[in-house]
Amino acid sequence: MKKALVVYFSVYGTAKKTAEEIATQMGADLMEIEPVVSYDSNQDHYNALAKLAKQEHDSNARPAIKNEIPIADYDTIFVGYPMWWYTFPMILYTFFDKYDFSGKIIVPFNTHMGSGDGGTYRTIKELEPNATVLVGLPLEMSDAERGNAKAVSRWLEKLGLK
């Protein structure tokens, strides 16, 4: 089987940690979605990040991505992100606008503080109608920080990927 790719966007590191766990368990490659203008990862400055994220959301912004991600080289692509304002960060729209996922398998996962996936797995299906979107894994931030090996393992087994 061809290697899978795990792509993630993360500011506080929780989605990153989950992405690393998935990549380890899958023997997959790992890549970060890097914004051109980086976000402040200091959690003491949460209010400023919340304000910026809300502005981006309300203006339907498409924050630019700095790096190229070789989507075409993979058949199965895990895509992970935090919940921001009840949906995914707007840079995920940039990502899905930019790459063609026709014929690919997308496996979403996300971290959150109560919103679950907030309907984002359905949004991905709408944005990528020619891809197969598998059942995703929403992880509460505190659980994801404590360690998520078991939850990831159970999920991958259920999906028949492990």
Ligand X SMILES: Cc1cc2nc3c(=O)[nH]c(=O)nc-3n(C[C@H](O)[C@H](O)[C@H](O)COP(=O)(O)O)c2cc1C
From the CB of 143, what's the least distance to ligand X, in Å? 10
Output phi, psi for 146, to 5 deg. -65, -30
Q: Find the binder of ligand X among 74, 78, 84, 96 (CB under 6 A).
A: 84
What are the structure tokens assigned to 52, written together? 């910026």
Q: Find the binder of ligand X among 33, 83, 90, 107 (CB under 6 A).
A: 83
Q: Is 13 in the site for ligand X (CB under 6 A)?
A: yes
Comparing CB distances to ligand X, the nearer of 10 and 104 is 10
Number of residues in contact with ligand X, rule: CB under 6 A? 21
Q: Is 14 in the site for ligand X (CB under 6 A)?
A: yes
What are 154-161's contacts with CB under 8 Å, separation 24+?
Answer: 156/22, 156/25, 156/26, 159/107, 159/134, 159/135, 161/4, 161/26, 161/76, 161/107
Q: Is 58 in the site for ligand X (CB under 6 A)?
A: no
Q: Which stretch binds ligand X (CB under 6 A): 61-69, 71-79, 95-103, 108-116?
A: 108-116
Report 127-156 residues binding ligand X (CB under 6 A): 141
Residues facing 35 on adjacent strands: 65
C-beta of residue 113 within 8 angstroms of C-beta of residue 83: yes
What are the structure tokens assigned to 15, written together? 């989605």
- Binding interface with ligand X (CB under 6 A): 10-16, 49-50, 53, 82-86, 111-115, 141
